[in-house]
Structure formats: C-alpha cells, structure tokens
C-alpha cells in the first residue's frame, strides 16, 4: 500500500550553497590566504564559478522543482576594508536575489558562512573584543541594502562548528588548538548574533532573522561515563549557543549531518566521508528544538556520495523523518538539501561531492544526478509517497 505524507501548504523546498564554496574569485578572505600558503586546498582550481553562472544554476534549481534557495553573502566582498562597503558587490547580490525572484524562488540569505575578510582575521577574528560590534555593523548594512528583496535571513552559519574546527581541532583557519580561544570565540559569536539581530531589526523590522545551527544526535550505551559524555555534548554542542541567542531569533535553521554514538559501534552504514548514515537523527534534533518555540527550517542536510548510489534513498528518509517531526508538533517551514551543486568541501577541497548536480572538473558542465529527480518528485508534489 502506498502512503502519501503531505507537507504543510507553502512549505519551502530547495537546496543550499555558500559563497566561498561555489562562487570562485574571492581572494581577500582568510581561507584564500591560507590556500595561497598551501595550508588549504585551492578554491579556484575547480570552482563552479557560481558568481558568474548563478542564473544558469537557478534555472536548474527551478527545473528540479525547487521553490526556495539558501545562499550566503561574502563578507570579504562587501567590506574589503574595515568600514568601507563595496556597493558594486551589493549590486551583485541584488542581481542574485532578483534572479531568484524572477524564477519564483524564495531566498534564504545567510550573512556569514565561515570565511572572514583579511583585515578582520588579521586582527584576531572573532576572538577580538570588538568583533561582535564589527560583525553587527556588517550584518545591519547588508540587511538594510537587501531588505526589499528578501525576508528570511540568518546571521551566522554553524557557530560551534566554526569555533571547534578553528580553535579546538585546528584544521580550519586560524588553525589553533586552544580551549580558551575557543570559548572567547563562542562567546563573541553569541554577542555578535544578539547585537546583529538588534541592529538589523532597527533598520528592517520586517525581516525574519534567525541563526543556522548544526546539531548532532548524540547517543550512548549504558556505560555511566558515556551517558555523562552524551549529556554534556548534547548540552554544550546543541544548546549552549541557542540557550543564549534564541530570544533574539525569529526562527532557527537546523543543519543535520551527524549521529555520534558513545560506546561500541552501532554498525550504521557510512557515507564517503565515513560519517554514520542515520536519517532518524534529524527527527530527534527537530523535536528537541521545539523547546525554543520558534519556527524551524532544515537549512542543511545532505550526503557526500560521489556515485549517487545512496543519496536518493537518504533524501527520502530525511524527508520522511522531517514529516514525522511535523506530525509530532515541530513547526517546520522548509527543507534545504545540501547542496545544489558539488562544491568546495572546505578543508577537503573538491574531493567530496554533496551536489544534486555534479560539476565536471574539466568543463564546469552541470550534470543532473538521478537523486535530484527523486528530490524533484518530493518538491513538486509537496509530499513523500512511501510504500
């Protein structure tokens, strides 16, 4: 028997990207500088060149049934020198937003997705005491310039991932392994978000301003030590930031990728990056976020899967569990698969492929993967049909 799981009217279906991962040609941000030093893979080598090809990419998104799209604004383009804003780059992003509007695609705009302008990173990035004010000024400026063309805006993408990878694990800029610097950064990101929210609202009260948070489904076996570890990680990773920012949020965006289990392996299948494939975790994370009483968007969920053997099935499972969370009372307004095209997977360069659309490295040709058509059926029918 077939069952049709219907989604609420006006549900947003789409996919996402971030500026530095798809645009190409950003030379004045910290990631580009470290790439020049050989500490990170080059972005430009195989870039999808979305900066010049956004209309083509949005045509494809439209043809795949998407009615929304998440992307980010590159801070280094907009504010190449402290306090000096480049209106030509604002114009570029206005064109991006107009291209989406022309195609009937609702934008979800992220103001900052990991990369920092050089002047900001050189003086200590988010560790610097002035960082929250400087960040809020940038956010308010952009929101003011774009407020007639968008409604749903997020200040920060994945604050805890940013701080953890840059200041504890040390494999993203600024490559530190220092818990004190980590905590200073997390606290400044909290202040930065709260201040940005206040400043944006002064200039653009109608904007729906939130934050994008990466939450992990932590589980453990019965070992008391593992139970404590699980509870601590859930508290710190999933809630420390949101407990301190949710009052200055009109919505929360959830990025879901991980199930981390403390104890002997549960034997989940793995994706290309060796992460457990567990779609059910998205349900637990969405239901857990009900505590903040805010509208939710799935702003990212996806899988690195070069051969595309697992992606279609995984998307169906993610959507199924998202539906279950709605049935159980989570106020979910949209689902953005990560990502529209293959892109620069951060420290992994172009070795990992998340895209619904494959990008041929030699020609930059866009090649629609079969899983994109599985997702298209869901998007177009606003429903998932299961056997």
- For the CB of residue 349, give the shortest distance to ligand BGC in the complex, in Å: 11
- For the CB of residue 224, give the shortest distance to ligand BGC in the complex, in Å: 31
Closer residue to ligand BGC (CB): 157 or 188: 157
Q: Determine if 47 is a binding residue for ligand BGC (CB under 6 A).
A: no
The binder of ligand BGC chosen from 300, 305, 342, 353 (CB under 6 A): 300
* Structure tokens given for 3: 């069952």
DSSP string across 249-313: -SEEEEEE--EEEESS-----B-TTS-B--THHHHHHHHHGGGG---EEEEEE----TT-SSHHH
CB 379 within 8 A of CB 65: yes
3-6 vs 383-386, strand pairing mode:
antiparallel
Q: Determine if 23 is a binding residue for ligand BGC (CB under 6 A).
A: no
The pairs formed by 200-203 with CB atoms below 8 angstroms and a separation of 24 or more are 200/139, 200/140, 200/143, 200/144, 200/153, 200/155, 202/140, 203/140, 203/143, 203/144, 203/147
Q: Determine if 276 is a binding residue for ligand BGC (CB under 6 A).
A: no
Judged by CB under 6 A, the stretch of 101-109, 155-163, 201-209, 289-297 that binds ligand BGC is 155-163
Q: Determine if 160 is a binding residue for ligand BGC (CB under 6 A).
A: no
The binder of ligand BGC chosen from 40, 161, 289, 315 (CB under 6 A): 161
- For the CB of residue 150, give the shortest distance to ligand BGC in the complex, in Å: 19
**What's the Cα-to-Cα distance from 135 to each of 91, 140, 322, rounded to whole Å?**
20, 9, 33
Number of residues that bind ligand BGC (CB under 6 A): 12
- Burial of residue 290 (number of CB atoms within 10 Å: 0-12, 13-18, 19+): middle
Closer residue to ligand BGC (CB): 161 or 207: 161
Closer residue to ligand BGC (CB): 220 or 317: 317
CA-wise closest residue to 135 among 54, 56, 211, 69: 211
Q: How many residues does the chain have?
A: 387
- For the CB of residue 46, give the shortest distance to ligand BGC in the complex, in Å: 15
Closer residue to ligand BGC (CB): 168 or 383: 168
Q: Determine if 115 is a binding residue for ligand BGC (CB under 6 A).
A: no
- For the CB of residue 161, give the shortest distance to ligand BGC in the complex, in Å: 5
- What is the rounded distance in angstroms from the CA atom of residue 24 to the CA atom of residue 29? 12
CA-wise closest residue to 216 among 153, 142, 300, 136: 300
Closer residue to ligand BGC (CB): 159 or 384: 159
The binder of ligand BGC chosen from 30, 158, 199, 353 (CB under 6 A): 158
CB 250 within 8 A of CB 295: yes
Judged by CB under 6 A, the stretch of 84-92, 285-293, 311-319, 338-346 that binds ligand BGC is 338-346
- What is the rounded distance in angstroms from the CA atom of residue 105 to the CA atom of residue 124? 37
> Residue 20: what are its φ and ψ, rounded to 5°?
-65, -20
Q: Determine if 214 is a binding residue for ligand BGC (CB under 6 A).
A: yes
Angle between helix 370-381 and 311-327 (nearest 10): 20
- Burial of residue 318 (number of CB atoms within 10 Å: 0-12, 13-18, 19+): buried
Q: Determine if 255 is a binding residue for ligand BGC (CB under 6 A).
A: yes
Q: Determine if 121 is a binding residue for ligand BGC (CB under 6 A).
A: no
Closer residue to ligand BGC (CB): 117 or 253: 253
The binder of ligand BGC chosen from 47, 67, 157, 188 (CB under 6 A): 157
The binder of ligand BGC chosen from 23, 342, 345, 353 (CB under 6 A): 345
The binder of ligand BGC chosen from 18, 28, 68, 317 (CB under 6 A): 18
Q: Determine if 338 is a binding residue for ligand BGC (CB under 6 A).
A: yes
Closer residue to ligand BGC (CB): 132 or 304: 304
Note the residues at the interface with ligand BGC (CB under 6 A): 18, 21, 157-158, 161, 214, 255, 257, 300, 338, 345-346
């Amino acid at each position: 028997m077939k069952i049709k799981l219907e989604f609420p009217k006006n549900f947003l279906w789409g996919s996402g990207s971030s500026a530095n991962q798809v645009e190409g040609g950003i030379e004045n941000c910290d990631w580009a500088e470290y790439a020049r030093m050989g500490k990170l893979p080059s972005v430009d080598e195989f870039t999808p060149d979305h900066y010049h090809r956004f209309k083509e990419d949005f045509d494809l998104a439209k043809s795949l049934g998407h009615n929304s799209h998440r992307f980010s604004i590159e801070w280094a383009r907009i504010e190449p020198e402290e306090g000096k804003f480049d209106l030509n780059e604002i114009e570029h992003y206005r064109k991006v937003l107009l291209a989406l509007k022309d195609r009937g695609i609702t934008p979800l705009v992220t103001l900052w997705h990991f990369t920092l302008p050089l002047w900001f990173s050189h003086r200590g990035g988010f560790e610097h005491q002035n960082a929250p004010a400087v960040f809020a000024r940038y956010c308010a400026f952009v929101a003011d310039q774009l407020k007639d063309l968008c409604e749903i805006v997020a200040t920060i993408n994945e604050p805890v991932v940013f701080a953890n990878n840059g200041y504890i694990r040390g494999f993203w800029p600024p490559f530190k392994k220092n818990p004190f610097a980590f905590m200073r950064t997390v606290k400044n990101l909290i202040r930065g978000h709260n201040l940005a929210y206040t400043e944006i609202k002064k200039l653009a009260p109608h904007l729906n301003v939130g934050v994008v948070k990466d939450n992990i489904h932590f589980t453990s076996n019965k070992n008391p030590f593992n139970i404590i570890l699980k509870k601590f990680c859930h508290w710190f990773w999933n809630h420390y930031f949101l407990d301190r920012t949710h009052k200055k949020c009109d919505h929360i965006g959830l990025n879901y990728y991980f199930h981390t289990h403390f104890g002997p392996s549960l034997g989940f299948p793995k994706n290309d990056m060796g992460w457990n494939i567990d779609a059910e975790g998205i349900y637990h994370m969405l239901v857990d976020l009900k505590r903040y009483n805010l509208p939710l968007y799935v702003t990212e969920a996806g899988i690195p899967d070069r051969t595309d053997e697992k992606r279609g099935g995984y998307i169906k499972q993610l959507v199924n569990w998202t539906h279950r969370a709605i049935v159980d009372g989570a106020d979910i307004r949209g689902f953005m698969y990560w990502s529209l095209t293959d892109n620069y997977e951060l420290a992994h360069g172009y070795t990992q492929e998340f895209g619904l659309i494959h990008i041929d490295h030699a020609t930059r040709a866009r090649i629609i993967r079969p899983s994109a058509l599985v997702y298209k059926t869901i998007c177009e029918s606003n429903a998932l049909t299961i056997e």
